[in-house]
Structures are given as C-alpha cells and as structure tokens.
Structure 1
Amino acid sequence: MTDDKHGGPPVHALLADGTTVCIRPVARHDHEQLRGLYEEMSPENLRLRFFGASRRSAEMAADRACAAPHPGYRALLAERQGQVIGLAEYDTSGAGTEAEISIAVADGLHHRGVGTLLVEHLVSAARAEGVTAFVADALSENREVLRLFADLGLRTTRRFEGPEVRCTIVLDEDDTYLSAVEERGRAADVASLEPLLRPNAVAVVGAGRRAGSVGRAILHQLHAGGFTRRLFAVNPAATAILGVPCHPSVTALPMTPDLAVLAVPAATVPETAEECGKAGVRALLVVTAGLDPDQVRSLLATCRTYGMRLVGPNCLGISNTDPALRLDATFAAGHPRPGTAGVAVQSGGVGIALLDGLSRLGIGVSTFASLGDKYDVSGNDMLQWWESDSRTDLALLHLESFGNPRAFSRTARRVTRRIPVLTVDAGRTDAGRRAAASHTAAAATRTMTRGALFTQAGITATRSVGELLEAAALLHSQPLPAEARVAIVTNAGGAGVLAADACAEAGLRLPAPTPQLVDDLLAVLPEGAAVGNPVDATAAVTEEELANCVDRLMRHSGVDAVLVALVPTAVAAATGDDLVRALTRAPARRVKPVAVIRLEQALPVELLPADGGTVPSYSEPQAAARALAHAVERSAWLARPAGTVPALEGVETERAHAVVERYLDRNLDGGWLDPRSCAELLDCYGIPQLSWAWAETEDDAVLAADRLRGADGRVVMKGYWPGLLHKSAEHAVHLDLRGDSQVRAAFRDLETRFAGLLTGVVLQPLADRGTELFAGVVQDQVFGPLVLFGLGGTATEILADHAARLAPLTDHDVHDLITAPRCAPLLFGADGARPVDLEGLEQLLLRLSRMASDLPQLAEADFNPVLATPGGVSVLDARVRLLPRRPQDPYLRRLR
C-alpha cells in the first residue's frame, strides 16, 4: 500500500491523556497485529463491533484492511511503541461522495481519544478526496461510538431501524468543527506537558563534578531553588553531587523521573534519549548544542517512539515558579522571581533579559521555557499551557520561527481574549529577501506576513526586548483605555511638549479640553497654570493639587488615559511634596490608565508601588507613548467581535479544481496560466473581469476589436507568450487603438519584435477612468495564503502602498485591508469625489481569499490593475501561477 492511496505519510499525535501515538496508513505487514487487535477484544466488544461474535470476524477484518488498495477505500491505524491500538476505515464502494466508516479500538484503551483522533484524520483525508459525508451503522446500545460521532463537532443525524441506528456525519469544515478539534487538541497538549512543567521527579543527566559545567549549573539551580519533589543526578563517576544523590545511569535510578535534563555531549544525546525512553521517562529537556542533522533525527524519532515531549536542544532550560513546585531547570545566573508572566523564547540571551526585566519590575514569572531549536514543544504549546494555568495573566513570546502559523493564529486569537500576548517581532531583516517573480511576491515580505499574523491574532508586537517590557509594565498594572484620547499633565512645560510629540508620533490623540474641564482644572491648580493639552501645572503645583487635577481628568468622559510628565524641582523639595505619591496613593479607584514620565529616572521603565497596585514610570516620553498605544490597540481588538468568513454565491469549486488539474497535467512543474485558463479560473469564483478576447492572427485581432469596441471605439492590445510577466516593461502593450488599421499595425509590431515568442494577443476595450488598485495573493508554505491589497498601476512597486492579511479573510479583515493603505481616502471619496464601489471591492477580496484557500496549488496571483469606480470594480490584468502541491490540512492534530 502506498501513502498516496491511504492517507499520506505517518504522523504522530497526542491522545486525550497526553500520550503519543502514530497515525499511519495500513500496510500488508500489519495483518497479524490487526487480527490480534480483534482477537483480544472481549466478546461484548466484538458483538458491538460486528453485530455478532464469530471466530472468523477477526480474520476477515484484517484481510479487508490489508487487501490490495481499491478506489474510495482508506484504512488508518494508531500504534503506540509499535503496537497497533486502533483502526479506522472508510469505503465509498468506488463511487459517490458518501463513505461507510468503521472504527475499532483495543480493549483497555477506550475513553482516551484513540477513535476520535483516527476519525479526525479520516475526515481530513476524505475531504481531500471529495467525500462529503460518512455513514455508519451501529447497535443502538453502543453508546461509546454514538457519543464519539455526536462529539466530533460535525453535523450528525441518526435514523433508528430496530436495534440498529444509522448515523450520517456531514463533513463540513466550519468553525464549530475546528473549535471542537482545537479543544481536544488543547486538552491533550496540556496533559502532555504535565511531566515537563510539573514533574514529580527530575534527573539531570550529565551533571559534572567540577564547577563550570552546564549540567552541574542546572543541578545547582534545581537544588538551591528548593525543588520540592525528587531530584537525582546521573553520573557514573560520582555518588553525590552538590548533596544530590547520583546514580550511574537512568536505568539505575530508584524511580523513573518524569523529566530528564540532558547535558551530555552531542554525540551521546541520541543514545541517552533512547535509554530514557526505554526507562519510561515522559519528557526531555536537552540543553546540549551542536547536534548534527542525523543526531537530531534520531533524537526526535526516539521522543516520538516513546511518547516523550522535548524542549530544545540548544536551550537555556525551563522553570515553573509555583511555590508548590519551585522548578528552576535553567543555567541562568539567578532564580526567576515568582509571578504571573508566562515566557517562551528561542534565544537564551533574550530569555535571560526577560527574566531579569520581569523580576526587576516585580511582575515575575509563572512559567518559563527556552525552546532553543524548537523541534517539538513550541510557542503554541506554551500558549495552551498558560490558557489552562490560573497563575498566568500575561504571555511574552520571542519566536524566530513558527512550526504551524495557522494553528498558532487560532490558538492565539483564543488566548488573547483572556490575557495579553506580547511578542518581539524578531527577524524583521527578512524583508530584504524579496522574490522577484511578480509584483505580489515582491510585495509579500516575511515581515508583512508576520505582521498580518500578529494583527489578526490580537498579539501585541513590539520591536525590541525593551519595548516588550515597557508594554508589559503598562498592560500588567493598568486598565485598558477605551479609546486613544490622552491628557498630558506636567510640572514643566518642556517635558509636556516632549510628551505631546511622543503621543502624536505613536498615533494617540490629544483632545483640547472643554470649557467646563478648563474651569474644573483651574479651580484646583495653582495660579499661573495653563490648561490646554498638555496641562502645565507649573513648578508650584503641590502633591494635593496634582492629585486633584489627575482625578478630574480621569473622571472626564473625553479622556481615556493620563500621562504625567514630572521633573524634580527645588519648589517641591522645599515644601516636602512628593508629586509621584500623588499618582500612587489611590490607583485602585481608577478605571483608566495613568503612567508617569520621569526624565531623571535611571531605568527605562519601573513599576512604582502604589495603594492597591502599581503605576508604570518611564524615563522617556516615547516609551510611555508606545506602551499606551499598544494598550489602545489591544482595547480596540477586544472591543471588536470576532469576524466571520462570509458565504459567497456563485463559487464553482469543483470546476476550479478541474482547471487547475488540467493545467498541471500538461505542465508537471507548474507555471503561469495562459490568459484563457486564467480568465476561466477567475470566472469560477465570480471575480469581475473587463471584457476581453484572444487572437492569434492579425485578422482575428481585427474581428475581436470590432466586437469589443465601446462607445469611443478604442481598444487595448497586450502581447502574450509563456513566461511573460511584465508586459509594460517589455513594451508588449499598445493602448488607445482606433480603427482596424491601428489594430493591424499593433499586431504586426508585436509579431515582428517578439518573433518566435508571441503566441497570441489579448484585446480589451479601453477602460474608463478610475482608481487603479492592486490585489494579489501569495501562498506561503509556512504561513498559508497571504492576501495583499493597495495602490496599483505602474506605481505599485515604487510606492509600496500595500496592506496584507492571512486568508481566509473575515469581514473584519477585508475592512482592515481596504482602510489600511495610504491610498484609502481615494476609495472613500476624497476632495468631494464619489466613493468607489466599496461593496464590490470587498467581494473581490473575499473571492480572491476563497480562491487561495480552496487551491493549495495557487502559488501566487497578481491582479494589477484593478479598476475601481463608483459604478463597479473589475480586474484589467490578471496573472496566476500554479505549482503541483498537495493539499494539507493546517488544523489536523499532529506533532511536528
């Protein structure tokens, strides 16, 4: 049996209890194990499976699963450490889009999610083959299988026929099903991380007797940090290290540790991991660096075989500051302060900086993971852990790569509704690596793609570790502002000006105070105060006056946040007033954020102790404004309901697949669609195109021009040959052609200049005047399809006025795409002009998104220009490139 016929290559995934299984197609050599799977079932389970108990049932079932493949049949099995524990099959009987499904799970392994996981993988395979529904017959007393079908998250109907019930499961991939899969995946993921982040026993393998070794440093951190559970060292040359009992090998330990920390030479990591797996260790932390590709493959294969979760290799370690555990398995210089921030990083240096910064701020850390080379445990895993951890109210990430960005995005969208998720947008210099294949690929930088991911997921993206800590301080300590209206108060006019500039540059608004507010503030401020925005309270302001001023600003409906810029003065020193205390003495009553700017402050950001909380204090106005702007963005994201992907009429998905398959059958390596195939593909999705005609001879061109001419009689001629990308750059376009003679002359010109290349021409009526836009999509192998939109025409690359969102686009995403580019005012009717057809523009982007989501073979599409007028929207020029790619379900539960 081949992978292509039976559901793809083997993958590993997690059961409900966090154990690892392999899901793979059935092979002929599985016959004995499959027969044993059935023979070892109890008579009752055999009766429920086969509606009777026959000695031939096991043999016949194994024969069926291992028979030569036939169209419409798939069989997947689940195995653990080489032992088959479950089987799921479907069969369409060679025709139709409905398939019979059957499931078998080994006795003793029910209620652990084996059957559900197998069905999820069958659903994914079936959808790719055009199967639209599963049907299954079961005895009405078989509550377990009926519950499995009911809990999948798919639409299921039942029809009772005597003692039997016929279930029909519709294979719609809607959000209900994805959410159900996500929830099952989250629970399994968290369960699998328990041995790693809440181990009952830890062994440090490779702890040295001499000071300076990494293993000894980690052992010291665990021992000195007060790890509350069992701790062992593994070293054949010692009986104790740092007072910790030492044993010659993992197998010689008095008990099997949940977590083994490997600090051994790279060459011995695979062998040591194998020893751990055989001993029953459930998680590995590999701090060793320098593993070669073969060693990495061996390490990961061992982890998958024995069901061990892996952090690293090449990492700083992990920590859980829960007082009941006090796990510090790192080689950082100090212990992290217990607190409420979850931290996951790929860089050990960034990890140390964040641990130090969070400890200094007093926020502290709940759980820390240095992911290193990130071959298994990822940022997605840690987000799900923090989502389930009542101790974490803030998540900080530093990720240089994403294993499954689409799954990460769905997880992050859910988690950010509960706690702030912040990241350092690392690797921004990837923007310099631009593809040159087309306008779309050139515009779609990795920076733009990551930005789209963060924006759509509600993640607060910062540009440095310092900015990350600045934002974390405010989000941790202050309520979110309702909007971006900021009032500035200062005791020094110059400091207020600096703060005002910083706010404006950060996109915050500084509304002028109302007359009533002016009167209220003047009533509590000293003589000479100037009430504008900023409010100059003068150097004579007292602690009480400043507190009253801030309180009145807080109560004003036109103010969402207050920034207080203070400088030390001799006046305050002489009177004994503490202006900072005016802001920290009663923050518990405040429902709006307040932050302090102290230009003399030595540290970039501090959290000042206050009654009932803390107040953030910044040494630079720009830092305070940036942090507040991040809070405004988070508030706006939370206030907006989750978007939906609108249903579209007139989409012919099957026809589109046929167009793609027909082209790839003729062009095995893929390429750019010819104009006729391209137009047909766009027509499958109802994407509006300007009228056009294809001509291969001069006479055909004249006839086509006669049919296409509008009221003014002018047409456009565009040359075409395979591989032509930039018609304007090649001077392969003739505009404003009038009459037959000009059409003939234009055709002859193209035929002469591009002799041996030209295969035909495209003719179109000269388009009306309007706004020229650009829309396109790039299918990123990691991030999925990215939709771009912005100013089009010949200026699209020069001005680079583009916005991007990851498909599938929701209604909110489309709105963001249209309003984000600098050219957006042109679309909404700038300078008294009529707005363009915004609804038509939204439909075009949604249909482009749908096309990219439906067709993984669509490598890129480039619509430039798209003409937008008040009367409608149409594509004037389109190019589409296809590649022979297999569809892959980004939401299917599997480990990397």
Structure 2
Amino acid sequence: MTDEAHSRPTVHALLADGTTVCIRPVRGADHGQVQGLYEEMSPENLRLRFFAASRRSAASAADRACASPHRGYQALLAETAGRLIGLAEYERTDEQDTAEMSIAVADGLHHRGVGTLLVEHLVSAARAEGTTAFTADALSENHEVLRLFADLGLRTARRFEGPEVRCTIALDESDTYLTAVEERGRTADVVSLEPLLRPKAVAVVGAGRKPGSVGRAVLHHLHAGGYTGRLFAVNPAAHSILGVPCHPSVGALPVTPDLAVLAVPAAAVPATAEECGKAGARALLVVTAGLDAEQARDLLAACRAHGMRLVGPNCLGISHTDPEVRLDATFAAGHPRPGTAGVAVQSGGVGIALLDGLSRLGIGVSSFASLGDKYDVSANDMLQWWESDGRTDLALLHLESFGSPRAFSRTARRVTRRMPVLTVDAGRTDAGRRAAASHTAAAATRTMTRGALFTQAGITATHSCGELLEAAALLHSQPLPAGPRVAIVTNAGGAGVLAADACAEAGLSLPAPTPELIDDLLAVLPDSAAVGNPVDATAAVTEEQLTDCLDRIMRHNGVDAVLVALVPTAVAVATGDDLVRALTRAPGRRPKPVAAIRLEQGLPVELLPAADGTVPSYAEPQAAARALAHAARRSAWLARPAGTVPDLDGVETDRAHAVVAAYLDTHPDGGWLDPRVCAELLDCYGIPQSAWAWADTEDRAALAAERLRGADGRVVMKGHWPGLVHKSAEHAVHLDLRGDSQVRAAFRDLETRFAGLLQGVVIQPLADRGTELFAGVVQDQVFGPLVLFGLGGTATEVLADHAARLAPLTDHDVHDLITAPRCAPLLLGVNGARPVDLEGLEQLLLRLSRMASDLPQLAEADFNPVLATPGGVSVLDARVRLLPRRPQDPYLRRLR
C-alpha cells in the first residue's frame, strides 16, 4: 500500500445496531488478533471465506494483512472493546485501476453491518488511490456476502464460473450509492440515540445536596418533570437528594444507567466518563463547562472506547416530551410544553428563548438538545432522529459551526422535503471584509457560504430568534402558499399601507384584483369600501362582511395568501362585532394561508385559537410579511424537482490529477500556477480560454503579437511573476498595443519596472465588446468548494454583485447562479439586446464546479474577466492556486 493509505486515520463509526466500532488500518502488531479472527471461525465459515476449511489459511491471511506496507494493498479492521470483529482488504491487480477485494467478519457478529461498514471505508480508501473497480470471488452458496455486495448501492456485475461467482463492483460515487450509505447511517444513528433520548434509567453524577448547583437543578427537573424511568443520583456524601436515591459511585448503582448526566468539575469529567463507560452506560450528557484540550480529548476517548454517545460538554441539557418518557434533563427555568417542534441549539441562552417561545405559542417541543461544544451529537444526528420519531413536524436549529456541512446538507435536503427546517443564521458576518489575495477569496464571505448551504438544502434561514418564531408560527399553523401573491384586507387604510410596504420589501407581490373580484367584494362590503390591494373595508365593516370578503378572496385563483390588518375601533365595540373572529371561526382549515396583523398586540407573535387549528397574529406588518415570504420560498423549493449534476464531455480527470501532482512535486508548499500550467489545467476540463501565447523575451513577444493580432491588429500584454494576482493594481498590463514597436516598448517597460521579478508575459488579442463577468471557486476546509459568479472587471469587489453555491453544482444551482446577481438582466437581454450565450455560461460554471470537486488541492480559482457575448463565453484571465491537501470523503460514515 502507499504510505498515504497505510497512514489513514483511525475513525469511529456506528454499526446497524448503534454499536460504536473503531475502523483503522491493520498493523504488524495485529498479527495474533487477525489470525485468531480466522481460527475462531467455524469450519463452514472458513470454507466460505477461503473455499476450503484449512486452518493453515488463517496464518497465511494474517501474514498477508500484517506484512510491511506495499503499494497497491490496503487492509482495514473493525474492533470494539479491543476485540477485532472484522477485516476487509484489497490488492491491486494487473488490470488497470482494479483491485481484488475480500472481507471477513467474526462468527456471531453477522447481520450487524460490520462487513458493509468495512467495505464502505475500503471503497473510500481505494477511490483515493485511483482504483475504479473491485473484483471479489465467492462461492455461489455464500448468500450473505453476495447480498452484501448487491445491497451496497454500487453497480455490481456477476459472472458464474462453476461453483464460484466473480463479482465486479464499480466504485463510482453515484447518488444511488450515497443514498444507500445515508440510509444505513440514518438507521444506525437513530438506534444509537435511543439510550440518550429514551433512556430506561438515568443517573445524575454530581448532584449536590444544597440548592444552587447545576447537577441538583437537572435532578430536580427530571424528578419534577415525571421522568418515567428509574432515576438515581451519584454523590458519596448523601443517601437521598430531592427524594431520589443516591449512591456513592456509578459502579454502585443497582442497575446500569442508559444515560449518565455529568455535572462534576471539569477536572473530574474524563475519569467520571471512564467510570460510566466501564459500568455499561450507553450515553453521556455533560453539562460541565471549561474543559481544557487534554480533558476534552480524554472525555471523547472514553466515549469512543466504551461506545457512548455524547451531548455537550458546556450545554443546557436535553428534553424528550413523549408521555412514555417525559425526560427533562435541563436546568432551564421551566419544563418545555409537549408538542411537535424539534429544537437543537449550541447556545443555552438561545435554547431557553426558543423553548419559552414555542411553549407560549402552544407549538411545544417534541425533543430538545443543547449541543454545547458539540464533541459528538450534532444537528445532523437530531435531524435524523426527528425524521424518524413520528412526533416532530417542525425542526428549529441554532448552529454556530458545522462538523460536516456536506453530510448535513444531504440530510437536510431529505428532511426538508418532509418538514420545515428553520435556523437562526448565527455568526453570519465577518469583522470587515478580509484582505484577500484574489477576488474569489474576498467575495467568499461566511455569509455567502452559509447562505449557499441553507439555500441549496431548502433550509429556512432567519436573522434572529424572533424571526425564527414568527416563521415557525405560520409554518406550523397554515398551509403553504402556492406562490408569492398576497391580498391585504384592512379596516383602516393606514394599516393597509404599512402592510403593503412590508410585503413589497419582503419580496412578495400585490396583484391588482380582477374586475370580477372587485364586483364580488363590493357586493358584500360597506358602500364606502375601496377594493384594490389593499382592500380597505373601512371601520364600518362587520364581522359577517369581513368573513364573506375573506371567503371570496380565498376562492380567487390570483391570490396565494391573505394578510388581514385590523385595528380596534369604537364602531366594532358598539355593534358587538369581533373582527378577529372573522379569521378564526371558519369551520374548516382554509386552503390558503391567512395571517393577522394587530398593531395593538402586546406580543410580537401569537397563535389565535381557531375552529380548526390556529391563526398567526403579528404585532408588526414586517413580521407577518417576512413569515409569508419564508413560506413562499419553501413552497417554491418543494415544487422544484431535485436537481442533477450533469455529465460533462471532454473532461480529463486523470490528466488533471497528473498536472496537479507534477506542480506539487516541484512546489511542495503549493502556490499560484504560472499561466502555462494554469491553461493546461483549464484545458483538462474544457474551460474555454481566449487565445494566448507566452513570451519571455522581447523578440518572442513581438512574434506572438504578430501571430495573435485580430482583425483590428491590437493585442494585450500582461506581465507575470510568482505571486502576482492583481495585475491591474500592479500596473502590469498594457492594453491596445498596435504594431511591432508598441509591443516591444511595452515589453521593455515591464522588464525595466519589474526587474528581478518578471518571468515573462502573456500576449492576447484585444477582446471584443461584451459583458465582463466573474467566476471563481474557493475550497473551504469545512464546507468544501464554493462556486461564485457575478459581475466582473476591475470593480468586481466594489460592486460585490455575486451569488454563490456549494459544489458539485446541479442544473438548478447553475440556473440560480446565473439569475441571482443584479446583473442578470444584462445576460438575458434587455432593451432589445440579444442574450449572451447562456448555455456556454452554464457549461463554464459546471466545468469549474467539476474541477473543484475533483481536485481538493485546488484552493482558489479566479476567472476575471469572463467575457460573455451572444456568440460565446471565454475566460480572458485565469488564476489558480494549489495547496498540498489530501482528498477527504465527506460522506463516509464516521463519528465526529
């Protein structure tokens, strides 16, 4: 095996039954365990593995797996509690890019996903080394291993050769395979969370006898909240706390706790976690804060060694309101109201605010997790739990960081199809625009990166806890609008104007009523009413008239949602009319969303009880409009089919890898490619470039200019030296050069001004007129490649007209990138102008995305300007920076 393959990191992952296993390369010291794995197999399983029941095969297999590392061979093992339970290996064959693979699982551990998990990790290792297919031989009666291969989600072909079957498994990373891996991961993840969220016994370690301690507060919440399982306290100085039995240590408990809550000093956390693991606990909730790096490492090591899932440290706690559990292991002021919203936060303060808000609205909580420092359990875990629990229909998140954004994005895209997923976009600003070496790096702010993730995953991103609750109230209580068209009805003209302004600012539309609708409404409203949009029903409107008005608007095909802005009047009081009741007394749930605006309302948002559900009511028009806009965007996202990543012709991935490897061999620290290497890399992906030539002397520059002159005879000269990025800012560009003398003079000028730096020049024909655009990519170590697009030229950073999406781009993502910037009308054609080559522009962005997805070493790519005309698209200037990075599989099943 290669040194890189042999040094693959040790990771932990979950089996199908939720057990934590360690996956790592086999080492020489493992020889005895590997041989024992085979020797302990039954004769029948030995025969199925080696096609003969010979004990000598065990020693030979151990010799091969534990031999000194050699190229083209990889062996991975799975172990739990120090016991080797499975082994998978491959060895490259004489056939190009193909490897022979085999797998073995310890007797008694079949059907728990050991083999499948090992094969997934073996596939990832093989892909990283360029292997494109596995072959594996099996006896035709070995139904278990044949089923394992068939269920992987990879394309598998079988060829029968007498009693044997040769399986060929293509290692392409198709969506089918990723979906299969996701489903296996989701099942294992949910099972592993059962001891955490549905524990049969809980122990609070560190509960004090005196009021004021966090541990005592958690114990009180569990006891007073009616937890249905067995509850214990651990304190060597007490026999009972708050009426809960107390024991001196975890090991002294009469039963093994599924969940242990740790509220001990930071220095004691690792040892306490180890004690819990040895006692058989399956989950930890660590509310303690202030762990240093060593304590944190030891805590996580104890959890991994003993297979415990961990929430925290430094967190508020967890709750699960199912009547069969009634688990409230938090130190919040009150108990959350049972309901249907799942909540996961990193900040305890935000968690308290959301719990209070959801309880006040009557939505309530299905389960709650304060993730704290998020060593293990993450929002991804909680999304998968809510997807499966049968109680949650609304997910609320507050995330300051992401462990694996690409895995989170795939999970969120799936979950968001089933329920709204809302988040507070925390940490979305940068402390000023960073000083960046390229336009792409300057544009790729945290706001753009997170925004791209949320947009592509269909997550409703809000800017505050208040806005989150506003949107949650509407999404919980009302159907989704079919579109952004809103009708406003009011009993006071001024309130209607405020509502109309708010809708316009939120991106909603206010269609004028049709003549038929006008006649329909005038027939039921007071004579003084004005039927436009807003509909001013006047202070004279009665409850019955308002009800009829709303019913008729609801039936109108040109309206998707209704906002009703009401103010209290003496007229309504005198007649005994309750205008709010016109919204809430409808006998059946209305087919379109309706929301109230009541300026006198004390709370920002309320849910008004209705005949069939609830109706949201807002104190501010802006809040109501924002909530409706979020609902409209969710509706549009759901209505659009999932995008696909198009196949591209003319892509030479192997050649691109060779170009990158050759550059990094001579530049081990990475750097900006010179124009020749940069052009070669772009050519590997069929990215169109303007004609150009390299010249390192005055004579060669003159010859290149003569060859490249266009019809008008003008060329451009750009200087180059290592590290030069912004040529215009350095005045290293000469434009509009005519004739041999001007070209020579320009070369001498650059040679003189940049003596000791200049390595050569790029000569290009002067470009035609067109729209100057910008395209680029930044490889974020956490989020992966981010593709940016927008208006280009020298003012690209000043105008900041950019959109961004995470790679790999789908066909929908590319469409969104092109249409999102403010300059989009220039591309589509305005004032009789022809549109630019949109298909060529899409191809350029898709190929840029593919290049970034293929090459983790690509740190930045900066195409500015990209010239777009009706006749085509061409990159006029390209810069690419490489760094020595290893490929990582963001979808590989592993714990944090």
Q: TM-score range by the shorter chain?
A: over 0.9
**Which AA in structure 1 matches 2:685?**
Y
- The one-letter code sitting in structure 1 at the alignment partner of 2:516 is Q
CA distance, structure 2, for counterparts of residue 97 and residue 532 of structure 1: 69
Structure 1 pair 435–188 and aligned structure 2 pair: CA distance change class (3 A): farther
The residue that corresponds to 1:591 in the other structure is: 591
2:8–2:24 contact (8 Å) kept in structure 1 = yes
Offset at 1:93? Answer: 3.8
Structure 2 match to 1:792: 792
d(CA) in 1 for partners of 2:232, 2:693? 78
Write out per-residue CA displacement over residues 779-829 of structure 1, whole angstroms, 9 at most, x where no aligned residue: 000000000000000110100000000000000000000000000000001
- In the TM superposition, what is the alpha-carbon distance from 1:2 to its structure 2 partner? 8.2
Corresponding residue of 1:247:
247
Q: How far, CA to CA, are the matches of 1:502 and 1:55 in structure 2?
A: 79
> Structure 1, residues 559-603: CA drift from partner, whole Å, max 9, x if none?
000000000000000111000000001163411000000000000
Q: Give the Å deviation of 1:161.
A: 1.3
The answer as to whether partners of 2:5 and 2:125 remain within 8 angstroms in 1 is no
Residue 414 of structure 1 corresponds to 414
- Residue of structure 1 in register with 2:201 after alignment: 201
In the alignment, the residues of structure 2 paired with residue 647 and residue 657 of structure 1 have an alpha-carbon distance, to the nearest angstrom, of: 19
Query: 1:5-44 maps to which residues of 2 (within 5 A)?
Result: 5-6=5-6, 8-44=8-44
Alignment partner of 1:292 is 2:292: yes
- Is 1:662 the counterpart of 2:662? The answer is yes
User: Is 1:45 matched up with 2:51?
Assistant: no
- Hey, what's the Cα distance between the residues in 1 that align with 2:802 and 2:411? 27
Specify whether residues 458 and 803 from structure 1 end up closer, same or farther in structure 2 by C-alpha distance, changes over 3 A only. same
CA distance in 2, matches of 1:816, 1:496: 33
Q: CA deviation at 1:7?
A: 6.0
1:771 maps to which residue? 771
SS of equivalent to 1:375: coil
Which letter does structure 2 place at the counterpart of 1:505? E
- Give the structure 1 partner of residue 883 of structure 2: 883
Residue aligning to 2:462 = 462
Deviation of 1:43 after TM superposition, in Å, equals: 1.0
Partners of 1:6 and 1:76 within 8 A in 2: no
User: Which structure 2 residues correspond to residues 97-176 of structure 1 after superposition, within 5 A?
Assistant: 97-176=97-176
1:10-54 Cα offsets, whole Å, 9 max, x none, are: 100000011100000000000011111111111111111111111
Q: Is the 8 A contact 1:71 1:94 kept in 2?
A: no
Contact 1:287 1:317 (C-alpha < 8 Å) held by counterparts? yes
Q: Distance in 1 between matches of 2:435 and 2:171?
A: 37
Q: Report SS of the residue matched to 2:366.
A: strand
Kept in 1, the 8 Å contact 2:589–2:613? The answer is no
SS at structure 2 position matched to 1:669: coil
TM-superposed deviation, 1:96? 2.4
Distance 2:229 2:485 in 1: 51
CA distance in 2, matches of 1:412, 1:639: 16
Maintained 8 Å contact 2:596/2:616: yes
Between the aligned partners of 1:441 and 1:408, the Cα distance in structure 2 is 24
1:353-502 aligned at under 5 Å gives the runs 353-430=353-430, 432=432, 434-502=434-502
In structure 2, distance between residues paired with 1:870 and 1:5: 49
How far apart are the structure 2 equivalents of 1:716 and 1:430?
Answer: 37
Does the Cα contact within 8 Å between 2:688 and 2:844 map onto a contact in 1? yes
2:35–2:59 Cα contact (<8 Å) kept: yes
Q: Give the residue type in structure 2 aligned to 1:410.
A: R
How many corresponding residue pairs? 896
What is the aligned partner in structure 2 of residue 701 from structure 1?
701
The aligned runs of 1:649-688 (5 Å cut-off) are: 649-688=649-688
Q: Which residue of the partner structure matches residue 67 of structure 1?
A: 67
How many Å apart are 1:430 and its aligned residue? 2.6
Counterpart of 1:828 in structure 2 is 828
Unaligned runs of at least 5 residues, structure 1: none
> What CA distance in whole angstroms lies between the structure 1 residues aligned with 2:40 and 2:3?
28
Per-residue CA deviation, residues 157-202 of structure 1 (Å, 9 max, x unaligned), is: 1111111111110111110000000000000110110000010100
> Are 1:508 and 2:512 counterparts?
no
State the partner residue of 2:861.
861
- What does the per-residue CA deviation read over 1:79-105, in whole Å, with 9 as the maximum and x for residues that have no partner? 111111100000014662111111000
Equivalence for 2:845: 845
Tell me by how many angstroms 1:70 deviates: 1.7
Match of 2:285, SS? strand
User: Against the structure 1 CA distance between its residues 138 and 351, is the aligned structure 2 distance closer, same or farther, given a 3 Å change threshold?
Assistant: same
Query: Aligned partners of 1:48 and 1:55: how far apart in 2?
Result: 13
In the other structure, the counterpart of 2:817 is 817
Determine the C-alpha separation between the residues in 2 that align with 1:262 and 1:351: 19
Cα deviation for residue 281 of structure 1 reads: 0.4
Is the 2:672–2:881 Cα contact (8 Å) retained in structure 1?
yes
**Aligned ranges for residues 529-608 of structure 1 at < 5 Å?**
529-586=529-586, 588-608=588-608
What is the CA deviation profile of residues 824-883 of structure 1, one whole-angstrom value per residue up to 9, with x for unaligned ones? Answer: 000001111110000000000000000000000000000000000000000000000000
Between the aligned partners of 1:587 and 1:824, the Cα distance in structure 2 is: 46
- Residue number in structure 2 paired with 1:180: 180
Is residue 13–residue 895 contact of structure 2 (8 Å, CA) maintained in 1? Answer: yes
1:285 aligned counterpart, secondary structure: strand
**Alpha-carbon distance, 1:6 to partner:** 2.5
Amino acid aligned to 1:245 = P
Indicate conservation of the 8 Å contact 1:123/1:171, yes or no: yes
**Deviation string for 1:765-787 (max 9, x for gaps)?**
00000000000000000000000
Alignment partners' CA distance in 1, 2:370 and 2:663: 46
The answer as to whether partners of 2:433 and 2:442 remain within 8 angstroms in 1 is: no
Change (3 A) 1:6 1:293: same
Specify the code of the residue in structure 2 equivalent to 1:409. S
Cα deviation per residue 1:406-440 (whole Å; 9 max; x = unaligned)?
A: 00000000000000000000002236352411110
SS at match of 1:717: strand
- The percent of aligned pairs where both chains have the same amino acid is 87
For 2:474, the aligned partner's letter is L
CA contact under 8 A between 2:480 and 2:635: conserved in structure 1? yes
Amino acid of the residue matched to residue 827 of structure 1?
L
C-alpha contact 2:2 2:72 (8 A) present in aligned 1: no
Q: Is the 8 A contact 1:618 1:624 kept in 2?
A: yes
Hey, what does 1:328 align to over in structure 2?
Answer: 328
Aligned twin of 1:84: 84
Q: Which runs of 5+ in 2 are unaligned?
A: none
Question: SS of the residue aligned with 2:430?
Answer: helix
CA contact (8 A) 1:3 1:9 kept: no
Q: Which secondary structure state, in structure 2, belongs to the residue aligned with residue 429 of structure 1?
A: coil
3-state DSSP of counterpart to 1:8: coil
CA distance in 2, matches of 1:774, 1:307: 49
Check whether the contact 1:563–1:597 (CA below 8 A) recurs between aligned residues: yes
Could you say what secondary structure the match of 2:774 adopts? strand
Shift of 1:3: 6.1
**d(CA) in 2 for partners of 1:316, 1:323:** 21
1:689 aligns with 2:689: yes
When residues 587 and 488 of structure 1 are mapped into structure 2, their CA distance, relative to the original with a 3 A threshold, is: farther
Partner SS for 1:831: coil
Distance 1:7 1:147 in 2: 31
Query: Matched residue of 2:4: which SS?
Result: coil
- Distance in 2 separating the partners of 1:219 and 1:299: 22
Alignment of structure 1 residues 631-646 onto 2, 5 Å: 631-646=631-646
> How far off is 1:206 after superposition?
0.4
Instruction: Report if aligned partners of 2:716, 2:764 keep a CA contact under 8 Å in 1.
Output: yes
* Cα offset, 1:58, TM superposition: 1.1
SS of corresponding position for 1:428: coil
Residue pair 1:73, 1:94 contacting (<8 A) in 2 also: no
The equivalent of 1:620 in structure 2 is 620
Q: Matched residue of 2:859: which SS?
A: strand
Alpha-carbon separation, structure 2, partners of 1:435 and 1:888:
28
SS at match of 1:794: coil
